[in-house]
Every structure is written in structure tokens, then in C-alpha cells.
Amino acid sequence: ADIGSARREYAHGAVFLAVQRDGQVLAPPPVEFAFAAGDRVVVAGTADQLRALEAACQSLPIPAAVIAG
């Protein structure tokens, strides 16, 4: 999925701030950026938004986790 699709389908109002891939950080990631296995994503949102995003990520073919802190 790309950032644009992820925003529409999974984000539930959360905002993708940055993506780290192969030691490089892209902030903010462009809408057409496509996620890949191993990407680390920085997301901002309410606790409810982050929980919803984490739940949505569980069904993706690429393992993903959302860590709120």
C-alpha cells in the first residue's frame, strides 16, 4: 500500500509523519510512497486512532506494528 491508500483505508485520522527505510528517514513521506517490509513508520494520533491503525495493520500482508508512547 502507498501512503495515500493507507491514509484512506487504515489511518482513521492518524497522520504519517515519517518513514525509515534502510537507515534513511523520509519526512514527511510523499503520498505516492509505497511501504515495504522492514519500514519503520512514525505516526501521530489519538490513542483511539493509533489502536485502530494497529488493528488494521494486523490484516496487511506486510507485518506491521503501531507503538504508542
d(CA 68, CA 7): 18
The whole-model pTM stands at 0.72
22 or 9, greater pLDDT: 22
* 50 contacts 24 by C-beta, under 8 angstroms: no
> pLDDT tens for residues 34-50?
888 888 888 899 999 88
